[in-house]
Chain A
């Protein structure tokens, strides 16, 4: 047994085998074009074992959690809590209580921006973000600053699309109450040196939230090593279902912080005028949670663990290099973001072709890419474009699919050229 495990760990990803787990990939669209899915940064596809977990849950274990004192209720609760424990273990959290289950990255961030900021953000304080944040790691902090009379600061990026570390350091001060930074940019692909950023931020007494929506699905992330206070991500970008998000909170990070949503489950005692709150993580899980999808998210963790995040990361690094090399070989194509450390989200423009025309054209060849501002309008302004096109890879993508994208772009260039 031990030796087989070792050979598995050493060997590369068996992509053809993995693709068999994703029935959605095996279809032709627009009559005869093989579907080529390269929009993984928006959402990932769902492998059979994860879909099966949903089916099994509804066919065998469905009940409300934490309340029903009957067989199914216990089954559902046990599976729900097992999923929480898998997630905790997967990202190196000390205990399941460090994992608060939400509806998504966006809700996780809003939870902190509401509850934590209500307790800690004061007039004159500052919140520091970077110019490469997704709207969901931007707008909630802007709103919090407006509510509390705090100042919203933005650390700039360099020509290569990396965080300007010098400026970041300059913007940090004892006024900085919270730093919110993405681990990996969904536009530029840039992987930020978050462990260093956390150290610097802690040194001035700031709390740190890491948006790991694009990193956790693609590379090993260990929250204990990062030492961040909050880490957030979404199930639907990591082979899991939609409607589940994670908020990891370091021990003590939510001490003295009031509740977010009020309702069932999050209470300890409900009085006529006042109530008291449940322990973590339940204090922040008001109402019936998304039980089935959480259970399936646990199955997604098992799936990715089985494939090996280090192997997935290594494979995607290779595939991304190939994608960049092929894009660079085309005339009139410009890539946004040339970070030394990067992941598999690659944004680009083809001169003379608007991103919407390009994505529509390649879509008709069966190739799904994303076009638009990618929920990063502040970054678009800094890049000086209204919109970009983006291809993003995952563990089931192949070199042949990259070739199909490139051929489709070449065809679009012929079609639209003046």
Chain B
């Protein structure tokens, strides 16, 4: 597999072309509005929480294939997780994208497709945009 295929694996292209949960409903509160000033990519996020458990993540994003696919995958990976576990996963995922640890096969399997992004340091920020936004959304909710 060449580098290009690694960064744009089937799975990423699938999430890019068919993003999951990529809409904000009319009365969704925007809990985080995250921008990457380097490229102007932007995500607005909301999440529904019931009994300290994430029921749904929804977002609106303008960005590249990597940032959109990552947001889509995240929305699925976090669904159903208790908030504490969600925060752990966010932290671990961001660390993995920065090359500080490995991606964990126990995570939502689609996430493994993002491992190729690590070969392109400039694109790591694209892959973590939604996750940084989500961390803010969760702490915003607590506050």
Contacts and interface: CB of A to CB of B under 8 A. Distances in A.
Interface of A: 30, 354-357, 360-361, 364, 371-373, 377, 380, 386-387, 415-416, 418
A198 B5 CA distance: 52
Given A30-B2, A354-B63, A360 B7 contact: yes
B39 interface: yes
Q: Which residue of A360, A372, A373, A418 has the most chain B CB atoms within 10 A of its CB atom?
A: A360
A9 B80 CA distance: 74
Interface of B: 2-4, 7-8, 13, 16-17, 38-42, 62-66, 120, 123, 126
A415 to B, nearest CB: 7
Contacts of A371: 39
B42 to A, nearest CB: 7
B39 A415 contact: no
A416 B15 CA distance: 12
A213 B16 CA distance: 38
Contacts of A360: 4, 7, 120, 123
Contact of B40 (A30, A387, A418): A387
Given A354-B63, A354-B65, A386 B4 contact: no
- Interface of chain A, main secondary structure: helix
B39 A416 contact: no
A356 B13 contact: no
Contacts of A357: 8, 64-66
A372 B8 contact: no
A16 B42 CA distance: 44
A415 B2 CA distance: 14
B2 A386 contact: no
A354 B61 CA distance: 12
A418 B64 contact: no
Nearest to A363: B4
A364 B3 contact: yes
Given A354-B65, A357-B66, A364 B38 contact: no
B33 to A, nearest CB: 14
B123 A356 contact: yes
Contact of A386 (B16, B17, B40): B40
B64 A354 contact: yes
B64 A356 contact: yes
Nearest to A354: B64
A387 B63 CA distance: 10
A204 B51 CA distance: 68
Contacts of A377: 40
B95 to A, nearest CB: 23
B58 to A, nearest CB: 21
Query: Which 9 residue pairs are nearest across A and B when measured between Cβ atoms?
Result: A386-B40, A354-B64, A364-B4, A356-B64, A357-B65, A418-B17, A357-B64, A387-B40, A387-B39
A356 B16 CA distance: 14
Given A356-B126, A373-B39, A386 B7 contact: no
Nearest to A415: B8
A418 B4 CA distance: 18
Contacts of A356: 39, 64, 66, 123, 126
Given A357-B65, A416-B65, A418-B17, A386 B120 contact: no
Contacts of B16: 416
Contacts of B3: 30, 364
A386 B67 CA distance: 14
A90 to B, nearest CB: 36
Nearest to B18: A418
A415 B120 CA distance: 19
A118 B5 CA distance: 55
Nearest to A361: B4
Contact of A372 (B2, B39, B120, B123): B39
5 contacts: A354-B64, A355-B64, A364-B4, A373-B40, A377-B40
Contacts of A387: 39-40
A418 B40 CA distance: 23
A386 B39 contact: yes
A350 to B, nearest CB: 12
Nearest to B5: A364
A377 B17 CA distance: 28
A364 B1 CA distance: 13
A59 B42 CA distance: 51
Nearest to A372: B39
A60 B66 CA distance: 51
A372 B39 CA distance: 5
Given A354-B64, A361-B4, A386 B42 contact: yes
A380 B2 CA distance: 33
Nearest to B8: A415
Contacts of A373: 39-40
Contact of B2 (A354, A355, A364, A418): A364
A357 B70 CA distance: 14
